[in-house]
Structure 1
């Protein structure tokens, strides 16, 4: 049985051995916020949904009804800027879209800046555009069997890219943009 980080007075005696003391909870929190620590998954009910800052987090699975400010705070847990992270992914198991729309309306009325969400379809369009650019850059060099013959094709592909005007930078920038877009739409079959 997994251990619980925090308990309440109403918990049954059966759960008590699975409730961590405060110092262990603090140690788990520190580990979870460290992007290189192998500790990668937590299941939370309340405490880490709001008021918990870990910018390296990228995915949240929601199976709990939330509204308004609490919903926006929970989504903000994964939608923080961190290094090359393109954005956060919220997997909605219970249909919070209407609540999110209402929370976003509140956010907008509060004069929030920027666009707090990116539609997966928008990210897919960016991915497709970047893949077209990459295919155009590789025009004239054999790369069709790259998945199965990468070692044989890599020298020719690399030489081709390096022979283009500013090819290395353009190729790397396009691959980065495609990777970021893919991270935001990878749940779509088309991606």
Structure 2
């Protein structure tokens, strides 16, 4: 399999960076915006498709409401003590994206795994997605591609052409997945799903909804 370049990663995560930029422009500190977008990316892996929802509902207020709930969740999992029911456990907008009950208690109960996976995203693919210098090069290159006068694309800048490196852990395992013949999934759907897992260097983990 050919190595993914930094350009491939930025192209795939274009919406993720757009959300990050939107949050920064709206007043979030860059480090806070990074954490929120990384949380959105992580939630996609457990069936909470926040980014997909934003794609389908490109509304400024929706993004800010989801970000506010993500901020509350991130603050909750940093605490030593569990959240108190009297101050409210609901994260209604995020919870509406999944059929199982999800609240602050759920995230606090699984905070170890959530934090571990957030760190992997931020220290992995996040180093590319949130690198402003790389993003400027990416935008400039896309502009040159759009404005070119010939069918030959311009030469990709060296920094964008460099392969995206990911580290496989010792316990990285293969997984066999079978789909029913009546499944509505297309080959493209399946490829996109597992490509996203690859880009996030995701170690498979399971959340149990109680």
- Structure holding more helix per residue: 2
- Structure holding more strand per residue: 1
After TM superposition, is the score higher than 0.5? no
Greater relative CO (CA pairs within 8 A, separation 6+): 2
Q: Give the TM-score of the pair, scaled to structure 1.
A: 0.24
Question: Which protein has the larger Cα radius of gyration, Structure 1 or Structure 2?
Answer: 1
